[in-house]
């Protein structure tokens, strides 16, 4: 059996898949410790893993990131993405790495598994292999590795074939390196150089490729093809929930069985402070349509949404395992996990979003043919109505979503993560882990 250290930034959409991996590894008899924020202590304990707390400098409450990071609320689009990358994910790396080093010093560790945005994993991977355990990246966002076949990550452009496409991608790459992400690149090099005394051999988005393996939580059909894809990248599909969420079904649940068509709309569990972004426009768009609109407020009080149309049903939490079998179309703000939950059920999507990794998720929804993507955080009711009507009327979207659902069903999921961890941990020296914690 192996001994594994798992690590995640304290963000719900990043922690959730790490918890699923932890639960699986524990069930298989492995020794598992999970390093993340204090808010997730009980969730970690429920997996059977040992909880390790991130230092205060690397911990924050992701339920209100705008309050936790002053200045964020006034930004949008690329500006917010740059802010998040530096303030939320890059700035805590010193404290993250100190916590990782302390955990490695405490006991032998075969491998470290860290989700994409836990930047300390890249810093750890800069060390010679003989001085550290194997480092594996858990891909909880679209694959950020640059390629000759793709536009730079973060801009939300799908691949374009031919000479025009190659010219476009070279131009975008120049603009990204020299203008859009220039400051972020400098900061990443400064931080990594200060921590490890070794310069980053790649740009900020290439840093994910420094690790010994990348376990991407998707299937090839939902990721851009790359002729230069490293052999260290493994597609295992999204992680299937091994335990159904305990949630009381709302009193209107019986209406689902008699509805002709069901449309589910959600802004997730974090980006749901302003229902005017997606939920209310969707309700307005579909108020006169022959569909039942099911709204999840992501934990916020239902009363905050106010009056809703007669064809709408609302609840704070709705277990997707129970709801999705009834759903014909899902309208989402582009969370990677939620999108895969829908695709796993063969449900076509309307995906919107311009912050975090959402432009890349939205672009892949459109490119894959499984839905309609909108490069906006606030779509109009008219655009949403037109999009939902198309998904319900045109069979091609449902067919493509079903094909991806079949691909997801055949993927190994958590057992695939376990297999990669075992393979990269082979040859790990018994002395690995006896490192001096960062001061």
All structural domains of the chain with their residue ranges: 3-237+412-425, 255-410
Q: How confident is the model at residue 185 (pLDDT cuts 50, 70, 90)?
A: confident
Q: Token pair 């790459």 is at which residue?
A: 173
Dihedral angle over CA of 243, 247, 248, 252, nearest 10: -100
pLDDT over 80 (residue 53): yes
* Mean pLDDT value of segment 248-271: 89
Q: Does 431 have pLDDT greater than 50?
A: no
Question: Residue 439 above 70 pLDDT?
Answer: no
Quick one: pLDDT at residue 207? 67
Structure tokens at 120: 């300390």
Cβ-proximal residues to 199 (8 Å cutoff; 6+ apart), any chain: 189, 192, 193
For 21, other C-beta atoms within 10 Å of its C-beta total: 27
CA 40, CA 411: separation in Å to the nearest integer? 28
The dihedral built from the CA positions of residue 183, 187, 190 and 193, taken in this order, carries a sign that is negative
Residue 62: the pLDDT is 84
Which tokens go with 181?
Answer: 């992400």
Q: What pLDDT does residue 294 have?
A: 97
Distance CA 243, CA 189 (A): 41
Residue 227 · residue 148 · CB < 8 Å: yes
Rounded average pLDDT over 269-294:
89
Lowest mean pLDDT among 17-21, 111-115, 158-162, 206-210: 206-210
Give the highest mean pLDDT range of 77-81, 198-202, 210-214, 285-289.
Answer: 285-289
- Position 173 scores a pLDDT of 86
Average pLDDT score over residue span 160-172 = 91
Specify the range with the lowest mean pLDDT, choosing from 26-35, 84-93, 306-315, 372-381: 84-93
The pLDDT value recorded for residue 196 is 67
Whether 437 shows a pLDDT value over 50: the answer reads: no
Give the pLDDT score at 84: 81
User: By three-state DSSP, how is residue 375 classified?
Assistant: coil
- Residue 410 pLDDT: 96
What is the rounded average pLDDT of the residues 174-189? 76
Kindly report the average pLDDT of the chain as a whole number: 89
| pLDDT > 70? residue 436 | no
What pLDDT does 430 receive? 38
State pTM to two decimals: 0.89
Intrachain domains 3-237+412-425 and 255-410 with the same fold: yes
Answer whether 343's CB lies under 8 Å from 405's CB: yes
pLDDT band at 438 (very low <50, low <70, confident <90, very high): very low
| pLDDT for position 382 | 97
Most confident of the ranges 355-369, 399-413, 424-438: 399-413
Q: What's the alpha-carbon Rg for the chain, to the nearest Å?
A: 21
Q: How confident is the model at residue 81 (pLDDT cuts 50, 70, 90)?
A: confident
Percent of the chain topping pLDDT 70: 91
Do residues 425 and 30 lie in contact, with contact meaning Cβ atoms separated by under 8 Å? no
- Alpha carbon distance 85, 119 (integer Å): 10
Sheet with 312-315: list strands edge to edge.
312-315, 292-296, 262-266, 329-332, 349-352, 371-374
Each residue of 356-381: pLDDT tens digit?
Answer: 789 999 999 999 999 999 988 899 99
Q: Report which of 188, 148, 190 is spatially closest to residue 172, judged by C-alpha positions.
A: 148
pLDDT band at 267 (very low <50, low <70, confident <90, very high): confident
**Average pLDDT value for residue range 262-283:** 86
CATH architecture, domain defined by 255-410: 3-Layer(aba) Sandwich (3.40)
CATH topology of domain 3-237+412-425: Rossmann fold (3.40.50)
């Amino acid at each position: 059996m192996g001994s594994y250290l798992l690590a995640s930034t304290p963000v719900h959409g990043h922690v959730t898949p790490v918890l699923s991996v932890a639960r699986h590894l524990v069930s298989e008899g492995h020794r598992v410790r999970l390093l993340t924020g204090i808010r997730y202590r009980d969730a970690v304990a429920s997996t059977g893993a040992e909880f390790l707390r991130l230092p205060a400098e690397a911990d924050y409450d992701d339920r209100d990131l705008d309050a936790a990071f002053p200045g964020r609320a006034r930004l949008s689009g690329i500006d917010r993405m740059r802010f998040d990358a530096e303030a939320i994910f890059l700035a805590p790396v010193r404290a993250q790495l100190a916590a990782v080093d302390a955990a490695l010093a405490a006991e032998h560790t075969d491998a470290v598994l860290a989700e994409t945005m836990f930047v300390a994993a890249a810093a750890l991977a800069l060390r010679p292999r003989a001085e550290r355990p194997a480092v594996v990246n858990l891909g909880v966002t679209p694959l950020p590795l640059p390629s000759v076949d793709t536009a730079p990550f973060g801009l939300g452009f799908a691949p374009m074939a031919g000479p025009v496409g190659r010219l476009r991608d070279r131009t975008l790459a120049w603009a990204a390196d020299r203008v859009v992400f220039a400051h972020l690149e400098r900061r990443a090099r400064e931080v990594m150089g200060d921590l490890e005394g070794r310069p980053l051999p790649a740009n900020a988005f290439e840093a994910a490729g420094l690790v010994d393996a990348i376990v991407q939580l998707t299937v090839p059909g939902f990721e851009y093809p790359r002729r230069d894809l490293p052999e260290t990248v493994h597609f295992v599909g999204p992680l299937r929930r091994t335990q159904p969420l305990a949630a009381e079904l709302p009193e209107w649940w019986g209406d689902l069985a008699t509805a002709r068509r069901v449309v589910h709309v959600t802004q997730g569990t974090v980006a749901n402070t302003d229902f005017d972004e997606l939920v209310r426009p969707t309700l307005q768009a579909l108020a006169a349509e022959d569909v039942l609109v099911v709204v999840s407020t992501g934990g916020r009080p239902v009363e905050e949404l106010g009056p809703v149309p007669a064809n709408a049903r609302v609840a704070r939490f709705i277990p997707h395992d129970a709801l999705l079998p009834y759903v014909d179309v899902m309208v989402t703000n582009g969370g990677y996990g939620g999108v895969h939950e829908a695709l796993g059920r063969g449900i076509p999507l309307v995906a919107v979003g311009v912050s975090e990794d959402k432009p890349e998720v939205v672009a892949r929804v459109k490119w894959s043919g499984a839905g309609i993507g909108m490069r906006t955080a606030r779509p109009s009711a008219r655009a949403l109505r037109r999009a939902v009507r198309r998904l319900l009327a045109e069979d091609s979207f449902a067919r493509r979503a079903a094909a991806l659902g079949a691909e997801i069903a055949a993927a190994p999921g958590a057992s695939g993560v376990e297999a990669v961890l075992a393979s990269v941990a082979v040859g790990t020296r018994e002395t690995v882990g006896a490192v001096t914690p960062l001061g």
